[in-house]
Amino acid sequence: MNESVIRPLLEKSLARQISFPEILSILINEGVESYHVDFLRNECRYYSQDGESFSLSIPFKHEGVAPCFSQEKLDAINRKVQTGDATFSDFVREGCASGCAYYIVYLNGRKVRYFGRNGDEHIQHFPNPK
């Protein structure tokens, strides 16, 4: 797992220069097993299959995490991202507004677990590749 490969992915994603499927492919090739995006601390943590990990502070732009969790709003922004109608920056802003405090992506398990400030939780499975 190479931090010098992974760090630019976040920068490209926030700059709207790379898609979510492209990011997942690169992370898998780098041996990333899962990653944790924390909007409360504005950081990302990456975990490899061999036990390595590292964290990155990220200057996410959002208005803070809403106190109430809305699975419907979270699903709506996810659909926009999946169809290319929204970017990661849009997801950060709208995800926080929907009450998502952090989420964990499990690459091998092909799912994401979203968490709210009060313990709310939502699991979303990756769509099947076309």
What pLDDT, in 10s, does the model give residues 79-111? 998 888 888 889 999 999 999 999 999 999 999
Average pLDDT, the chain: 91
CB atoms within 10 A of CB 130: 4
Across 21-25, average pLDDT: 86
* Residue 66 within a domain: yes
Give the H or E element holding residue 56: strand 53-57
* Residue 13 within a domain: yes
Residue 115: pLDDT band (50, 70, 90) is: very high
What sign does the CA torsion over 21, 27, 30, 34 have?
negative
The two structure tokens encoding residue 89: 């920056």
Distances (CA, A) of 58 to 36, 41, 50, 126, 130: 12, 9, 24, 24, 31
* Residue 130 within a domain: no
So what's the pLDDT on residue 130? 54
Across 106-117, average pLDDT: 95
* Residue 30 within a domain: yes
What sign does the CA torsion over 10, 108, 29, 55 have?
positive
95: CATH? 3.30.1810.10
- Say yes or no to pLDDT of 56 above 60: yes
Name residue 38's beta-bridge partners. 43, 102
Across 17-27, average pLDDT: 86
Cα angle 20, 22, 26 (rounded to 5 degrees) comes to: 115
* Residue 97 within a domain: yes
What global pTM score does this model have?
Answer: 0.90
- Domain span including residue 26: 3-125
* Residue 62 within a domain: yes
So what's the pLDDT on residue 16? 80
- Total domains present in the chain: 1
Distance of CA 1 to the CA centre of its chain: 18
So what's the pLDDT on residue 129? 58
